[in-house]
Amino acid sequence: MSTFCPASAGARGRSYLRAVRLLLVKILRLQTLPKSETIQGMRKPSASVLTAVVSSTGIGIADRYRFSTLKGGMAVAVVFCLFLILSAFLPAQAESESPKAEKQVAAAFKPRENAHNQGRVRRGNAPCLSWNDPAVPIKAVFLCVHGLGLHNGTYEPLGKQLSSLGYPVYAIDVRGFGSWMEAKGRECVDFEGCLADIKSTLKVIRRAHPGKPVFLLGESMGGAIALRAVARYPELVDGLVSSVPAGDRFKQGQTSLKVALHFLAGPDRPMNVGESVIKQATDKPELRAAWQNDPLARMKLSPKELIQFQSFMNQNHESAREIKDKPVLIVQGVLDKLVRPEGTVELFNKLSTPDKEIALIPNGEHLIFEENQFSNQVVEKLVAWVELHRKNDASAIIKE
């Protein structure tokens, strides 16, 4: 792990900010260009989303932007350069500032009193909920990771249904979300810390259910985290279910510009991204209202955290290539207006493992497993896939 020097990082940060200001000056100068100056850019394919998803070969993640003017194309290019600069600096700083999860004590968290509290993993470092029906023989176990802005309680309906079928479910909070928001000094987003939490929690689950297969399931941001965890700790899991894990999103250029401008105002100053995420994630009024009114949902993130998030998502393809032999099920809603289905298909194609499958949900929006958005058909598909890959003997060796 790299070391972090506040003095050198401060100087480096100031130099980056100076570069950012110069880039923004260039953007402003573009406003004086005549409208007649045009540039040929990439145009959005005419094929429908479903057709694009099904024809999975040859789809590039290079954005489907349409540049009508030179200043529009240059503005997006400048913002992209800005993100390259910031993402090169901030992830290294975040990693060096992250405490080791193995040394943290679960008792540091205040108990969370709400309807989701069905059980907790006592030995573990992350806030964790569990759903287990003791009257039903255990077939396999799930560990779930939630999406951006959500928390582990969003898996409660899925946990209850799967546990009634013989599949106990555990769900942790990602660093910076859920119960972590109550832990002073640890409320910032921390992906390296979350990966360490997943490792330690998987070990606890293995000890609690010896000989039972353990599958890692994640959605959206959680799908990308689960992808990275399987690539890093393959000995601790028997398979991966990753729902909408791609970092290729609709309106990504607009979001990048908004984050860049907020970064100049203050890299640690929270900005409300929840409203736009919810609007793109679902068209259902009842789900929007429940999400917005959930006291455990985090609606505001700092520009620095959002840049770290995008940097993490940009490494999805590398993680996919590192998964060599584990079975993987990728899930994507065809009606998703937040993550581009084509991006998920491309990520699927990058998986090195030959044992991979992609399931397209015809009526699915962005959320498939969380917030009670799954259908009986989705659960049947999930269970059938797990049963196909379930092993009778313990397949993971816990390495201390």
CATH code, 382? 3.40.50.1820
- 259-285: average pLDDT: 86
- 108-134: average pLDDT: 57
Query: Does the pLDDT of residue 347 top 60, yes or no?
Result: yes
Is 23 inside any structural domain? no
Residue type, 342: E
Residue with tokens 């968290």: 109
Query: Does the pLDDT of residue 68 top 70, yes or no?
Result: no
The span from the CA of 307 to the CA of 263, in Å, is 9
Is 143 inside any structural domain? yes
Q: Looking at residue 270, what is its pLDDT?
A: 84
Is 218 inside any structural domain? yes
Packing angle of the helix pair 191-208, 221-232 (nearest 10 deg): 70
Least confident range from 60-74, 76-90, 276-290: namely 60-74
96 vs 346: which has the higher pLDDT: 346
For residue 40 the two structure tokens come to: 């040929």
Residue type, 171: A
For residue 303 the two structure tokens come to: 């520009």
Contact 192, 97 (CB under 8 A): no
Q: Which of 253, 338, 250 is nearest to 83 (CA)?
A: 253
List, for residues 122-173, the tens digit of each pLDDT value.
334 689 999 999 999 999 999 999 999 999 999 999 999 999 999 999 999 9
Is 19 inside any structural domain? no
Is 195 inside any structural domain? yes
Rg (CA), the chain: 21
- 262-279: average pLDDT: 84
Q: Looking at residue 55, what is its pLDDT?
A: 30
This prediction's pTM: 0.70
Is 9 inside any structural domain? no
Q: Which domain holds residue 174?
A: 101-389
From edge to edge, which strands make up the β-sheet containing 356-361? 128-131, 169-172, 141-145, 214-219, 239-243, 328-333, 356-361
Is 334 inside any structural domain? yes
Band of pLDDT at residue 61, cut at 50, 70 and 90? very low
Number of structural domains the chain divides into: 1
The span from the CA of 132 to the CA of 179, in Å, is 21
Is 52 inside any structural domain? no
